[in-house]
Amino acid sequence: MIWEDNREGSYATGGFDGTLEPGTRPALLIVDPARAYVDRECGLYVGPSGLPVVEAMRSLLAAARAAEIPVIVTEVVLRPDLADAGVFGRKVPALEAFTRGNPFGEFVDGLEPADGELRLTKQYPSAYFGTPLAAYLTSLKVDTVLIAGFSTSGCVRASALDTMQYGFVPIVVADAVGDRVPAIHDANLFDIGAKTGEVWSLELAEKYLVELAR
């Protein structure tokens, strides 16, 4: 299993030269599009182009469905008392509602997986791009993964790096990912680009999907 061997090495010794070529069989991974992350007072809502991140995710999802590519949506599950939320649970005021039993994994409207699309339930703070998912995508002959979701400094970044380590080309769609702190968001987009080589605009990602659908 090549991806298991790759994970034991480093990006420097693994032969990565900063250039990856997207393939012609993509999947879309939307990372944790949960209501818990939605806070209109923070920069999470606005991507590099000024387009709200949630709207960009919806647009990218629509393009993926039109192109009939596989769609994977991850869903976070926390204990109602936040005992497994760690620092994240203490720092995000919106999570206080979960002590009253509201589900962390309730999806933002329009970002729910449809019938036939893969919903992956995961415990925070796992990024959840592991061997089972890699094997599933490999079985579908996927070679490229478009990535959207929350948060750039955590699960989005980890998913991009893990995706590459498992042998896929990760494309992080900059307009469709967000983080609570804009400066951290920008720094992590730069880091993702340096380590995976592919950070695309929403426009470029949608053009790529349209061309594949022809």
> CA 19 to CA 17: how far, in whole Å?
6
Average pLDDT over residues 104-114: 78
Residues 156-176 pLDDT 10s: 888 888 888 898 999 999 889
Q: Which has the closest alpha carbon to 150: 64, 23, 43, 17?
A: 43
Average pLDDT over residues 92-113: 62
Task: Say how far apart CA 52 and CA 177 lie, in whole Å.
Answer: 10
Q: Which of 44, 63, 133, 155 is catalytic?
A: 155
Q: What average pLDDT is seen over the chain?
A: 75
CA angle 97, 88, 47 (to 5 degrees): 95
Residues 158 and 119: their CA atoms lie apart, in Å, by: 18
Over 60: is that where the pLDDT of 86 sits? no
- What are the pLDDT digits (tens) for 112-154? 899 999 988 776 556 667 888 899 999 999 999 999 988 777 7
Indicate whether 19 pLDDT > 60: yes
pLDDT at 2: 27
CA distance readout (Å), 64 to 50, 52, 113: 22, 18, 12
User: Considering the entire predicted model, what is its pTM?
Assistant: 0.79
Q: What is the pLDDT of residue 148?
A: 94
Q: Is 155 a catalytic residue?
A: yes
Q: What is the tens place of the pLDDT at every residue in 28-63? A: 999 888 765 555 555 555 566 666 788 899 999 999
Q: Is the pLDDT of residue 96 over 60?
A: no
Contact 146, 29 (CB under 8 A): yes
Question: Residue 14: its pLDDT value, please?
Answer: 40
The reported pLDDT for the residue numbered 39 is 53
DSSP for the chain, written as a single string: -HHHHHHTS-TTTTT--S-----S-EEEEEE--BGGG--TTSGGGB-TTSSBHHHHHHHHHHHHHHHT--EEEEEEE--TT-TT-HHHHHH-GGGGGGGGT--TTPBPTT-SPPTTSEEEEEETT-----HHHHHHHHHTT--EEEEEEE-IIIIIHHHHHHHHHTT-EEEEEEEEEE-SSHHHHHHHHHHHHHHHS-EE-HHHHHHHHHHHH-
Sorting pLDDT into bands at 50, 70 and 90, what band is 89?
low
Q: Residue 11 above 50 pLDDT? A: no
13 pLDDT tier (thresholds 50, 70, 90): very low
Q: Is residue 88 scored above 70 in pLDDT?
A: no
**Closest of 93, 118, 95 to residue 106, by C-alpha:** 95
